[in-house]
Structure 1
């Protein structure tokens, strides 16, 4: 995964048309890990990093996302 500095202005320009405000519940340790990665890289946007990580995962796993979700939910039960 490549960490890049993204200013608020760049994020706004790059993603403004695609961004939607969504409520996503993530474990505290997940958020802390992404924030730490951004800090270690010297700055950036942890939310953009989460999006990049999810996008990379989806691209590497060619199974339909519905199957991935079903497996994840079954594991949590």
Structure 2
């Protein structure tokens, strides 16, 4: 008996841009998630130069295939 393949969870990371150190911590977390099989939508990897951030977020939400949203705040 074979186990059916597991589809990757599709997640989007939304975060406070904050300090460069905070942004690096977020990027490190995203890299860890990707390395562990999570299909992550992340502006630093998926937003192209010149694209509008708000439109990008709307398009991601409109796709309807995101299963989880990870919201990351900073102390400020």
* TM-score higher than 0.5: no
Q: Considering fraction of residues, name the structure with more strand.
A: 2
- Structure 1 length-normalised TM: 0.28
Q: Which has the higher helix share?
A: 1
